[in-house]
Structure 1
Amino acid sequence: MKLIDQEQVIRRMKPRLFRNTFFKYLFLLATGLCLIVLAVLFGRIFIQGLPYLDWQFMNSLPSRKPEEAGIYTALNGTIWLMVVVVPVTMILGVGAAIYLEEYAKKNRFTTFIQVNISNLAGVPSVVYGLLGLTLFVRTFAFGKSVLAAGLTMSLLVLPVIIVSAQEAIRAVPSSFREASYAMGATKWTTILRVVLPASLPGILTGSILALSRAIGETAPLVVLGIPLFLAFLPNSVFDEFTALPMQMYNWTSRPQDEFHALAAAGIIVLLALLIVMNSVAIMIRNKFSKRY
């Protein structure tokens, strides 16, 4: 066996080491640029919005006068919207993932469904707005209600939740299922007591990203005709409402600089709401991650 010359090895390794170093610093530069842009964006938002963020802003109705305007109705409308979106997407999304992974036979039909679900995750949000307008607003006559908007947003994020839930269920070791069957458990008991708890961290990770997208989307609400200005609170899911994205869209479209600062304050409130939702989901995820 011929021994490879050490100089030849070094000569061959030099291009590889150079490419490794080049891509390492290229990716580091890309990460740094993203962080800089994010820092500038957050800095501008907080500098503009913090002076307007007070109790009067949180507890006031919308107004055409910047000094009297607030987000009380928009914040309540966003909470109502999440009351519809969260249970619908979690129940339907996780249920569909369980069926496709645990019950459906692997054939061309299920492959076709899988491909279409993955494709739906990349469809622009305005298309879902048109679907919701046709189906929920006009066909089912829900009008510009919380229910119509919530179901439309649920359709928007369902593909993401289904795909992430499938990946999480697929990642559960088969030995978990086999041990459950060996103890005499049925298929449904195994799914409910073993598979779902073990896959919950992955399911919640995808759900956090999906719900974060739903709470900040504006295009579907604009297509549905959700009011930009509303001076009363919804009392049920069948009432009209407005949401934080619509309120900020309204303020940013106005020429006065004061309204732009109010929009920045609204963004801070929306970020805080997202952080609270994500924190609850992360705590649940970490609890089950330690257990499994």
Structure 2
Amino acid sequence: MADFDIGSLLLLGTALLGTGVIAGIIAGLLGVGGGIVIVPVLYHMLLALGVDEQVVMHIAVGTSLATILGTGTSSALAHYRRGGVDVDLLKRWWLPIAIGVVTGSIVGGNVSGNVLSLIFATVALAVALNMILRKDGVSLATKLPGTPIKETLGFFIGSISVMMGIGGGTLSVPILTLFSYPIRLAVGTASAIGLLIAVPGTIGAIYYGLGVEARPPWSLGYVNLIGFLLIIPASTLSAPLGARIAHTINPRALKIVFALFLAFTGLRMFYDVLL
């Protein structure tokens, strides 16, 4: 594990606290899961602090998954109490999602940080294009496809999300709405899917990171405990601020700004890895 002096630890703590604040505000602004924000912000902050680039993406992904255990639980319960979780879909999807998460955890634990960065960058660019180009109300069909396509979609959501360190909403909401799912039900169900991804994903991140050199201090495997303890309260407290700001700004403009943020993040990761 990398050596940090007191000053570096304070700087790390400040950076992680800032990550939580930024993630919370953007999540409140756009209603997106924090992982899609936490991972790139944490990635760049850890790089700036001098953490070894070989473990930076693993730490960002593992820490992000761990934070979903806290934020995802409260979100899923809130949606469930309001009837916003499709329990029947979860019963049909939990197994392919779980198989996808286990597969993604094994792959993610055994590939380089550059590979994880390329996966994140590719999906981030795809999500950005979807946000910019897709018109509201556009769908492919009136219901989810049957077996085996439905199960394949669950496997895809689980495997890719766990390698990106996100809760699944970034992928499951666009996919569900493509098949005419009501947006509120899609968002609520996605929050429960996030827990299906985060629990085994966090366990995998801890397991595969045990004993790895160059990790920042207070890391349990690839989960940074300082980040876990600071990001959850910071993002939870700052999310309402983002929600208030959202009511004063044009929603379409917000989507475009966030899409540009994702596109910049993806292109920057491609640049870091390939050039």
Larger Rg over CA atoms:
1
With the length of structure 1 as denominator, give the TM-score of the two structures.
0.30
Q: Does 1 or 2 have the higher relative contact order (CA < 8 Å, sep 6+)?
A: 2
